[in-house]
């Protein structure tokens, strides 16, 4: 079944977006500082066959789970980020960046034994030349995990939804999930998970999990080359206890919504021009969670998250979508 975006009343979708400003979302995950080095290339290095980038400007943005929080804020909601930073300059930059968007910083835990995760992208003439990463992907020390769980338990009672944003940097582990997800389940919160652990049973109970096609392949061992294979692979996951809804992101092919007891719904992409897919998944899960807590059905929330993703891939670098842009995108997509 292919979803016609017009089956979702645009007025209802816009009314939901207007409710985002009253919503609080707990975002737990790997906090990353995204650094961008912007420049130009006019010659090749004489020592090696690589371009010489003449640096013009540098900038930093919230990345990883921090970009999820930035998207929540940009859409009008209030993020409550929980994650780990290092006792370093970049950790302080992340803290300051959160404050600059009006986000709380009470959920940030400092681990003096690991650096703040940094991704540095070198961009010349609107194209990424290379990327360097500085990170420690080992699991959190027990004492640090205890602090993260404590932050989660203190924060969850004051939010409308929970997002787990796993970037495989060491924070989200089976032991952590076993402590926080049952708590989210007993409080009746909507839980949206962007996964990296391939045992999806660890994400129970979750309202919706948002893997990409590659993650579905890895989790099931089924190569995916079309809708039939995708549905067959997803059905192996939907049979797991507590996993009743998957929203699979499919790149240029859009999204596919799978729910226990329903036929699959395929949502075509709305992107008009793709400059950069960096952070598109962050935009999807942010919009999805806000849509669900604002009264939309899972299909309606998936449709607006697809529209939001179509907007953000038209921007260069780690980016977010505003509520005004999303409402305009809804109107345009329904004309």
Contact criterion met (CB below 8 Å) for 123 and 131: no
Encode 237-257: b = buried (16+ Cβ within 10 Å), e = exposed: bbeeeebbbbbbbbeeebbbb
> How many Cβ atoms are within 10 Å of 182's Cβ, its own excluded?
13
List C-alpha distances in Å: 95 to 90, 150, 169, 198: 9, 19, 18, 31
Is 282 designated active site? yes
CA distance 246 to 208: 6
User: What angle do the packed helices 298-312 and 10-18 form, to 10 degrees?
Assistant: 80
| Active-site choice (30, 166, 276, 282) | 282
Q: Cis omega (within 30 of 0) on the bond before 205?
A: yes
Query: 206 pairs with which residues across the strands?
Result: 243
Q: Is 277 exposed, middle or buried (0-12, 13-18, 19+ CB in 10 A)?
A: middle
Catalytic center residues: 282
């Amino acid at each position: 079944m292919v979803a016609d975006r017009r089956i979702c009343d645009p007025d209802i979708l816009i009314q939901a977006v207007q409710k985002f400003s009253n919503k609080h979302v707990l975002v737990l995950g790997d906090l990353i500082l995204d650094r961008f080095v912007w420049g130009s290339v006019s010659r090749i290095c004489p020592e090696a066959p690589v371009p010489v980038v003449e640096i013009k400007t540098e900038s930093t943005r919230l990345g990883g789970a921090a970009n999820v929080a930035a998207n929540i804020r940009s859409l009008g909601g209030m993020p409550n980020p929980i994650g780990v930073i290092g006792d370093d300059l970049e950790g302080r930059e992340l803290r300051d960046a959160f404050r600059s968007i009006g986000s709380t910083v009470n959920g940030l835990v400092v681990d003096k034994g690991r650096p703040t995760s940094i991704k540095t992208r070198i961009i010349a003439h609107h194209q990424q030349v290379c990327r360097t990463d500085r990170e420690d992907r080992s699991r959190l020390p027990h004492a640090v995990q205890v602090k993260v769980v404590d932050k989660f338990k203190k924060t969850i009672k004051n939010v409308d939804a929970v997002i787990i944003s796993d970037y495989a940097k060491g924070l989200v582990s089976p032991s952590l999930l076993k402590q926080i997800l049952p708590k989210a389940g007993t409080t009746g919160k909507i839980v949206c998970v962007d996964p990296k652990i391939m045992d999806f049973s660890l994400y129970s109970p979750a309202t919706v999990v948002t893997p990409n096609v590659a993650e579905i392949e890895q989790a099931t061992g089924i190569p995916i080359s079309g809708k039939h294979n995708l549905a067959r692979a997803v059905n192996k996951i939907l049979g797991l206890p507590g996993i009743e809804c998957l929203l699979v992101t499919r790149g240029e092919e859009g999204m596919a919504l799978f729910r226990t007891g329903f036929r699959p719904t395929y949502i075509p992409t709305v992107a008009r021009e793709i400059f950069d897919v960096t952070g598109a998944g962050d935009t999807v899960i942010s919009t999805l969670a806000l849509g669900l807590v604002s009264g939309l059905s899972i299909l309606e929330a998936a449709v607006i998250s697809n529209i939001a993703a179509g907007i953000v891939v038209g921007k260069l670098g780690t980016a977010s979508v505003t509520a005004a842009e999303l409402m305009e995108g809804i109107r345009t997509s329904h004309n």
